[in-house]
Structure 1
Protein backbone atom coordinates (compact mmCIF):
# COMPACT_ATOMS: atom_id res chain seq x y z
CA UNK A 1 0.00 0.00 0.00
CA UNK A 2 1.31 3.45 -0.97
CA UNK A 3 1.13 6.03 1.81
CA UNK A 4 1.11 9.73 1.13
CA UNK A 5 2.27 12.34 3.56
CA UNK A 6 1.37 15.97 3.74
CA UNK A 7 4.29 18.00 4.95
CA UNK A 8 4.75 21.72 5.07
CA UNK A 9 5.92 24.67 7.09
CA UNK A 10 3.61 25.42 9.99
CA UNK A 11 5.31 28.36 11.68
CA UNK A 12 8.32 30.55 11.08
CA UNK A 13 9.60 32.32 14.20
CA UNK A 14 10.54 35.98 13.94
CA UNK A 15 12.36 37.31 17.00
CA UNK A 16 10.84 40.59 18.21
CA UNK A 17 11.43 43.02 21.07
CA UNK A 18 7.80 43.54 22.10
CA UNK A 19 4.66 41.56 21.28
CA UNK A 20 2.25 44.48 21.01
CA UNK A 21 4.59 46.58 18.88
CA UNK A 22 5.13 43.63 16.53
CA UNK A 23 1.40 42.85 16.33
CA UNK A 24 0.63 46.46 15.48
CA UNK A 25 3.25 46.54 12.70
CA UNK A 26 2.35 43.23 11.11
CA UNK A 27 -1.41 43.86 11.20
CA UNK A 28 -1.56 47.61 10.53
CA UNK A 29 1.37 48.10 8.14
CA UNK A 30 1.55 44.73 6.37
CA UNK A 31 -2.14 43.86 6.54
CA UNK A 32 -1.61 40.50 8.26
CA UNK A 33 -4.27 38.84 10.42
CA UNK A 34 -3.72 38.15 14.10
CA UNK A 35 -4.49 34.43 14.39
CA UNK A 36 -3.68 33.85 18.05
CA UNK A 37 -2.45 35.70 21.12
CA UNK A 38 -2.37 33.27 24.03
CA UNK A 39 -0.66 34.07 27.35
CA UNK A 40 1.78 31.46 28.62
CA UNK A 41 4.03 31.51 31.67
CA UNK A 42 6.55 34.28 31.02
CA UNK A 43 5.62 34.73 27.36
CA UNK A 44 2.81 34.77 24.80
CA UNK A 45 2.06 32.57 21.80
CA UNK A 46 1.48 35.22 19.13
CA UNK A 47 0.74 34.15 15.58
CA UNK A 48 0.09 36.32 12.51
CA UNK A 49 -0.45 35.43 8.88
CA UNK A 50 -0.84 37.22 5.56
CA UNK A 51 -3.60 34.74 4.68
CA UNK A 52 -5.73 32.97 7.30
CA UNK A 53 -6.34 30.10 4.85
CA UNK A 54 -2.60 29.41 4.58
CA UNK A 55 -0.92 26.61 6.51
CA UNK A 56 2.17 28.75 7.13
CA UNK A 57 2.12 31.39 9.85
CA UNK A 58 4.61 33.67 11.58
CA UNK A 59 5.22 33.18 15.28
CA UNK A 60 6.22 36.50 16.85
CA UNK A 61 8.71 35.32 19.47
CA UNK A 62 9.86 37.90 22.00
CA UNK A 63 13.58 37.69 22.72
CA UNK A 64 14.09 36.23 26.18
CA UNK A 65 17.84 36.79 26.62
CA UNK A 66 20.70 38.97 25.36
CA UNK A 67 21.81 36.47 22.72
CA UNK A 68 18.33 36.39 21.19
CA UNK A 69 18.11 40.20 21.35
CA UNK A 70 21.25 40.36 19.19
CA UNK A 71 19.35 38.64 16.37
CA UNK A 72 16.35 40.97 16.28
CA UNK A 73 16.30 42.41 12.77
CA UNK A 74 19.23 40.32 11.57
CA UNK A 75 17.90 36.79 11.48
CA UNK A 76 19.46 36.10 8.09
CA UNK A 77 22.71 38.06 8.18
CA UNK A 78 21.36 40.93 6.07
CA UNK A 79 19.97 38.74 3.28
CA UNK A 80 16.31 38.63 2.35
CA UNK A 81 14.76 36.48 5.06
CA UNK A 82 11.11 36.06 4.11
CA UNK A 83 9.16 36.14 0.86
CA UNK A 84 5.65 37.61 0.78
CA UNK A 85 3.84 36.40 -2.32
CA UNK A 86 0.89 38.36 -3.63
CA UNK A 87 -1.71 38.02 -6.37
CA UNK A 88 -1.69 41.80 -6.95
CA UNK A 89 1.77 43.34 -6.56
CA UNK A 90 0.80 46.96 -7.15
CA UNK A 91 -2.18 46.83 -4.78
CA UNK A 92 -0.04 45.55 -1.93
CA UNK A 93 3.03 47.64 -2.75
CA UNK A 94 1.01 50.87 -2.84
CA UNK A 95 -0.92 50.02 0.34
CA UNK A 96 2.27 49.18 2.23
CA UNK A 97 4.07 52.26 0.94
CA UNK A 98 1.13 54.46 1.97
CA UNK A 99 1.32 52.98 5.49
CA UNK A 100 5.02 53.81 5.80
CA UNK A 101 6.69 50.46 5.10
CA UNK A 102 10.37 51.03 4.28
CA UNK A 103 11.27 49.83 0.78
CA UNK A 104 14.96 49.36 0.05
CA UNK A 105 14.63 49.85 -3.70
CA UNK A 106 12.18 50.55 -6.49
CA UNK A 107 10.06 47.64 -7.76
CA UNK A 108 11.67 45.70 -10.56
CA UNK A 109 10.65 43.18 -13.17
CA UNK A 110 12.55 39.88 -13.11
CA UNK A 111 12.06 36.91 -15.40
CA UNK A 112 9.93 35.22 -12.72
CA UNK A 113 7.79 38.26 -11.89
CA UNK A 114 7.64 41.63 -10.12
CA UNK A 115 9.60 42.09 -6.90
CA UNK A 116 10.74 44.67 -4.38
CA UNK A 117 12.77 44.38 -1.16
CA UNK A 118 11.41 45.93 2.02
CA UNK A 119 12.42 45.90 5.67
CA UNK A 120 10.11 45.17 8.55
CA UNK A 121 10.05 47.26 11.71
CA UNK A 122 13.17 45.47 12.96
CA UNK A 123 15.22 45.58 9.76
CA UNK A 124 14.58 42.01 8.57
CA UNK A 125 14.62 42.06 4.78
CA UNK A 126 11.66 40.68 2.83
CA UNK A 127 10.75 40.28 -0.82
CA UNK A 128 7.26 41.30 -1.87
CA UNK A 129 6.71 39.50 -5.15
CA UNK A 130 4.19 38.37 -7.70
CA UNK A 131 4.96 35.56 -10.11
CA UNK A 132 4.27 36.08 -13.81
Structure 2
Protein backbone atom coordinates (compact mmCIF):
# COMPACT_ATOMS: atom_id res chain seq x y z
CA UNK A 1 0.00 0.00 0.00
CA UNK A 2 1.22 3.50 -0.78
CA UNK A 3 -0.17 7.04 -0.72
CA UNK A 4 -1.44 7.96 -4.18
CA UNK A 5 -3.28 11.25 -3.59
CA UNK A 6 -3.39 13.90 -0.91
CA UNK A 7 -5.71 16.92 -1.01
CA UNK A 8 -5.61 20.53 0.03
CA UNK A 9 -8.86 22.52 -0.11
CA UNK A 10 -8.44 25.75 -2.09
CA UNK A 11 -10.71 28.79 -2.36
CA UNK A 12 -9.83 29.41 -6.02
CA UNK A 13 -8.52 26.57 -8.17
CA UNK A 14 -6.96 28.81 -10.85
CA UNK A 15 -5.12 30.95 -8.29
CA UNK A 16 -4.04 27.80 -6.47
CA UNK A 17 -2.72 26.25 -9.68
CA UNK A 18 -0.63 29.35 -10.39
CA UNK A 19 0.68 29.49 -6.81
CA UNK A 20 1.52 25.80 -6.52
CA UNK A 21 3.22 25.67 -9.94
CA UNK A 22 4.65 29.14 -10.64
CA UNK A 23 5.65 29.97 -7.06
CA UNK A 24 6.19 26.70 -5.18
CA UNK A 25 7.51 24.89 -8.26
CA UNK A 26 5.24 21.86 -8.49
CA UNK A 27 4.39 20.45 -11.93
CA UNK A 28 0.86 20.12 -13.28
CA UNK A 29 -0.14 16.46 -13.62
CA UNK A 30 -3.90 16.58 -14.36
CA UNK A 31 -6.34 19.38 -15.16
CA UNK A 32 -9.74 17.93 -16.07
CA UNK A 33 -12.95 19.99 -16.17
CA UNK A 34 -15.70 18.53 -13.97
CA UNK A 35 -18.77 20.73 -14.11
CA UNK A 36 -18.02 24.09 -12.52
CA UNK A 37 -14.83 22.75 -10.93
CA UNK A 38 -11.75 20.89 -12.14
CA UNK A 39 -9.78 17.81 -11.14
CA UNK A 40 -6.36 19.43 -10.72
CA UNK A 41 -3.33 17.58 -9.40
CA UNK A 42 0.26 18.67 -9.10
CA UNK A 43 3.40 16.66 -8.41
CA UNK A 44 6.98 17.25 -7.43
CA UNK A 45 9.11 17.66 -10.56
CA UNK A 46 11.63 15.48 -8.71
CA UNK A 47 9.08 12.62 -8.59
CA UNK A 48 6.57 13.07 -11.45
CA UNK A 49 5.08 9.60 -10.88
CA UNK A 50 4.91 10.05 -7.10
CA UNK A 51 2.14 11.25 -4.81
CA UNK A 52 -0.21 13.76 -6.41
CA UNK A 53 -1.58 16.77 -4.54
CA UNK A 54 -5.21 17.47 -5.43
CA UNK A 55 -6.15 21.16 -5.47
CA UNK A 56 -9.62 20.38 -4.16
CA UNK A 57 -12.39 22.99 -4.44
CA UNK A 58 -13.70 24.31 -1.10
CA UNK A 59 -17.37 24.06 -2.08
CA UNK A 60 -18.59 21.65 0.60
CA UNK A 61 -20.24 23.55 3.50
CA UNK A 62 -17.97 21.88 6.08
CA UNK A 63 -14.77 23.10 4.42
CA UNK A 64 -14.80 26.87 5.17
CA UNK A 65 -15.22 26.52 8.97
CA UNK A 66 -12.62 23.73 9.00
CA UNK A 67 -10.07 25.82 7.11
CA UNK A 68 -10.81 28.95 9.15
CA UNK A 69 -10.28 27.04 12.41
CA UNK A 70 -6.95 25.64 11.24
CA UNK A 71 -5.68 29.05 10.12
CA UNK A 72 -6.93 30.75 13.31
CA UNK A 73 -4.96 28.22 15.37
CA UNK A 74 -1.90 28.45 13.09
CA UNK A 75 -2.16 24.80 12.03
CA UNK A 76 -0.80 23.94 8.57
CA UNK A 77 -3.09 22.00 6.23
CA UNK A 78 -0.12 19.91 5.08
CA UNK A 79 3.66 19.79 5.02
CA UNK A 80 6.15 19.63 2.16
CA UNK A 81 9.72 18.38 2.54
CA UNK A 82 12.53 20.62 1.28
CA UNK A 83 16.29 20.22 1.26
CA UNK A 84 16.98 23.66 2.78
CA UNK A 85 14.21 25.49 4.65
CA UNK A 86 16.17 28.73 4.97
CA UNK A 87 16.95 28.84 1.24
CA UNK A 88 13.29 28.14 0.35
CA UNK A 89 12.15 30.79 2.84
CA UNK A 90 14.47 33.34 1.23
CA UNK A 91 13.49 32.34 -2.34
CA UNK A 92 9.76 32.46 -1.63
CA UNK A 93 9.98 35.68 0.39
CA UNK A 94 11.66 37.30 -2.62
CA UNK A 95 8.66 36.17 -4.70
CA UNK A 96 6.27 37.90 -2.28
CA UNK A 97 5.08 34.85 -0.35
CA UNK A 98 3.78 35.69 3.14
CA UNK A 99 5.09 33.56 5.97
CA UNK A 100 3.35 33.17 9.31
CA UNK A 101 6.35 31.46 10.92
CA UNK A 102 10.01 32.09 10.10
CA UNK A 103 12.40 29.13 9.94
CA UNK A 104 12.57 27.49 13.37
CA UNK A 105 14.89 24.69 14.46
CA UNK A 106 12.99 21.97 16.33
CA UNK A 107 15.56 19.30 17.07
CA UNK A 108 15.86 17.03 14.04
CA UNK A 109 13.60 19.22 11.89
CA UNK A 110 13.56 22.86 10.78
CA UNK A 111 10.20 24.27 9.72
CA UNK A 112 8.61 27.40 8.34
CA UNK A 113 4.95 28.11 7.57
CA UNK A 114 3.55 30.04 4.61
CA UNK A 115 0.16 31.29 3.42
CA UNK A 116 -0.80 29.64 0.12
CA UNK A 117 -3.12 32.55 -0.87
CA UNK A 118 -6.03 30.07 -1.10
CA UNK A 119 -7.03 29.82 2.55
CA UNK A 120 -4.34 27.46 3.88
CA UNK A 121 -1.18 27.49 5.89
CA UNK A 122 1.49 25.19 4.48
CA UNK A 123 4.51 23.95 6.41
CA UNK A 124 7.90 23.44 4.77
CA UNK A 125 10.11 20.99 6.65
CA UNK A 126 13.78 20.08 6.43
CA UNK A 127 14.79 16.91 8.20
CA UNK A 128 18.36 16.58 9.48
Q: Same fold (TM over 0.5)?
A: yes
| Alignment gaps of 5+ in structure 1 | 1-6
The higher radius of gyration belongs to 1
Instruction: Quote the Cα distance in structure 2 between the aligned partners of 1:62 and 1:100.
Output: 24
1:63 corresponds to which residue? 58
- 1:19, 1:62 within 8 Å by CA — same for their partners in 2? yes
Choose the corresponding residue for 1:20, options 14, 21, 29.
14
- 2:8, 2:78 within 8 Å by CA — same for their partners in 1? no
In terms of mean alpha carbon deviation, does 64-73 or 110-119 score higher? 64-73
- How high is the TM-score relative to the length of structure 1? 0.78
Deviation at 1:105, TM superposition (A): 2.3
Choose the corresponding residue for 2:99, options 103, 109, 126.
103
Deviations 1:36-64 (A, max 9, x none): 11123343110012345162221112233
Deviation at 1:103, TM superposition (A): 1.0
- How high is the TM-score relative to the length of structure 2? 0.80
Alpha-carbon RMSD across the aligned residues, in angstroms, is: 2.4
2:28 corresponds to which residue? 34
Deviation at 1:12, TM superposition (A): 1.6
Number of residue equivalences: 126
Q: Secondary structure at the match of 2:117?
A: coil
